[in-house]
Amino acid sequence: MTKHSIFDTQALEAFRKEHKLQPYRIRQIYKEIFHNFVIDFKEMTALSKDLRNKLEESFEIISLEVEDVIEDDETSKFLFKTADGNVMESVLMYHFHTEQRTLEKKLNRITLCISSQVGCNVGCIFCVTWKMGLKKNLTREEILSQVVYANNYVKNKYGKKVDNTWYSIRNVVFMGMGEPMLNYPAVKKVCWFLTDTNYFGLSRKRVTISTSWVLPPLKQFLADDLPVSLAFSLHSADQKLREELVPTIAKYYTIEKLFAALDEYTDKTGNKIFYEYVMIKDKNDSRELAHTCGKLLQGRPAHLNLIPYNQNPAIDLEESTEARIKKFKDVVESYGVPVTVRQNMGRKAKSACGQLGYEKVQGKIIQKPCVDPNCDCKKC
């Protein structure tokens, strides 16, 4: 029998009526999953054993299989396998702070970077994920499963805080694999679950959609007024250079057209937009381009995030120097635009920005030499 997802609210309500359960039972199930971070019906001890068994027969909480976990001291990268055999990734990022009095390093907050697609076809030349190609759009259940599993992982890793509540994800960002606007129907449903107080209950400031931007879904996004923050992948304020950096869509969705839509968004919502800018040595990090960027964002409700380029396999690009990034930042700030230089996390685990899919792509590019000295396979 095919199991329903626990996120199928209609199926869950039908289950409740069929088994003559009181509505509060559904609330108990939700509390176990979304507040106690339980991902196994057997562990829901607030429910009777009979009800747990029936739920197990009819529903699944996680719609993904964990293929691997790769960790460093800053991140945990999950390689998830979908039911149809595709592999995609999510990344937990741990933000620490040092207490001034004791100099003790303590966990401050946790961010989860989730994927909306397996692979990507936007083609940003500095990102390894596009080399995978686009395999599929993820379903609502597959996207939400990343969040449910990650909260359970954090619970097991860190336990409870001093206030006796579980450590959990504070921020969710659509900055993993894929272009969220090319899977907008599913992303829209996910955002509803993430912000609804009956489920994850995150505030709109804690959920961010990061997009290189495709205009048709933007119109629907504006009409829907989703309770989320918006990040736009700019990477260059010069149209010709942006076409080089994002070749598949930049020439169709020009900076002029995009900013007309982005201005409509800020006029309608009053929300600030975060602009993402990957700093690539001798490519988009010049003083002249900094002035172009500053002029473009001047007077707009904008915050510019400068992201040092992360090394990728088989991509012949280099990270800007700290001095070059500092000069770029100073120039843009001279136009009254707030700028942050992003802290790169997860480079050791290849879970940093632009590195997702590293293992898959590396496997295609770097082939193990044949051990047979007489081999004529042309690969040695």
- Which residue range forms the structural domain that includes residue 185? 65-360
Q: At what angle do helices 140-158 and 184-195 cross, to 10 degrees?
A: 40
Is 268 or 349 the better-scoring residue by pLDDT?
Answer: 268
Assess whether 217 and 115 both reside in one domain: yes
pLDDT-based confidence at residue 151 (cuts at 50, 70, 90): very high
Pair 39, 77 in one domain: no
What integer pLDDT is reported at residue 343 of this predicted model? Answer: 83
Are residues 81 and 180 both part of a single domain? yes
Q: What is the DSSP string of 168-228?
A: ---EEEE-SSS-GGGGHHHHHHHHHHHH-TTTT---GGGEEEEE---HHHHHHHHHHT-SS
- Minimum mean pLDDT range among 53-67, 94-108, 149-163, 321-335: 94-108
**Res 354 pLDDT > 90:** no
127 carries an active-site annotation: no
The verdict on 204 and 235 lying in the same domain is: yes
CATH number of domain containing 37 = 1.10.150.530
Q: Once rounded to an integer, what is the mean pLDDT over residues 103-114?
A: 91
For residues 150 and 85, membership in a common domain is answered with yes
Name the active-site residue from 60, 89, 179, 319: 89
* Residue 369 located in a structural domain: no
Same domain assignment for residues 40 and 108: no
Over residues 71-99, the mean pLDDT reads 93
CATH number for the domain spanning 132: value is 3.20.20.70
Same domain for 147 and 19:
no
| pTM of the predicted model as reported, rounded to 2 decimal places | 0.90
In this structure, is residue 302 part of a structural domain? yes
Of residues 165 and 360, the one with the higher pLDDT is 165
| DSSP 8-class letter at 47 | S
Specify the pLDDT at position 60: 97
Output the average pLDDT for the chain. 90
**Number of residues written out for the chain:** 380
Residue 87 lies inside a defined structural domain of this protein: yes
pLDDT for residue 312: 79
The 10s digit of each residue's pLDDT in 286-311 is 999 999 999 999 999 999 999 999 88
**Is 113 annotated in the active site?**
no
Residue 368 in any domain: the answer is: no
Per-residue confidence at 34, pLDDT binned at 50, 70, 90? very high
Total number of domains constituting the chain: 2
Reported as a single tens digit per residue, the pLDDT across 218-232 is 778 888 988 899 999
CA distance 63 to 83: 7
Please, what sign has the CA dihedral across residues 154, 160, 166, 172?
A: negative
Instruction: Tell me how far apart the alpha carbons of residues 290 and 28 are, in angstroms, rounded to a whole number.
Output: 53
Instruction: Clarify whether residues 46 and 93 are in a common domain.
Output: no
Lowest mean pLDDT among 87-91, 94-98, 128-132, 316-320: 128-132
Indicate whether 51 and 81 sit together in one domain: no
The answer, yes or no, to whether residue 273 has pLDDT greater than 60, is yes
- Tell me the pLDDT band of 373, cut-offs 50, 70 and 90: very low
Q: Cβ(63)–Cβ(141) under 8 Å?
A: yes
Is the model's pLDDT at 85 over the cut of 60? yes
Residue 155 pLDDT > 60:
yes
From the list 113, 120, 124, 353, the catalytic residue is 353
Domain co-membership, 27 together with 149: no
Q: Are residues 231 and 157 in the same domain?
A: yes
Residue 27 exposed, middle or buried by CB count within 10 Å (0-12, 13-18, 19+): exposed
What mean pLDDT is predicted for residues 163-189? 95
**Residues 43 and 129 both lie in one domain:** no
Q: Is residue 374 part of a domain?
A: no
